Homo-oligomer: A and B are copies of this chain.
């Protein structure tokens, strides 16, 4: 579980990989097509895709000589849940929650207890 979160967060820590995920939001893609917009070798993209796959952020399925990549929501969901549970952020009221935290920050100076 902790190990899985390690993989998910470190996969998300790379901007190329986040871009890939965004691209896959549009549609499933072959490895070559994923690589196309990047100024980077195909092998490098292939490695990024393996990292994403190991983290459970994408699924890869070979069809003939093409390997299709598609989003897998499982991992992103796990990350989402972790962050959500962290500090009981209320996603429906982020703005007001933010205000609350701003107030907290002012009131709850370190050492004030």
**Chain A: number of interface residues, binned into ranges:** 35 or more
Chain A interface mostly = helix
B86-A28 in contact (CB<8A): no
Task: Please tell me how many copies of the chain the complex holds.
Answer: 2
Chain B minimum-CB-distance residue to A28: B110
In the complex, which of the residues B66, B86, B91 contacts A92, with contact meaning CB atoms closer than 8 Å? B91
Query: Which 5 A-B residue pairs are closest in the complex by CB-CB distance?
Result: A68-B110, A10-B13, A9-B13, A91-B91, A9-B12
A residues adjacent to B (C-beta < 8 A)? 2, 5-6, 9-10, 12-15, 18, 21-22, 25, 28, 61, 63, 66, 68-71, 73, 76-77, 79-84, 86-87, 89, 91-92, 94, 98, 101, 108-111
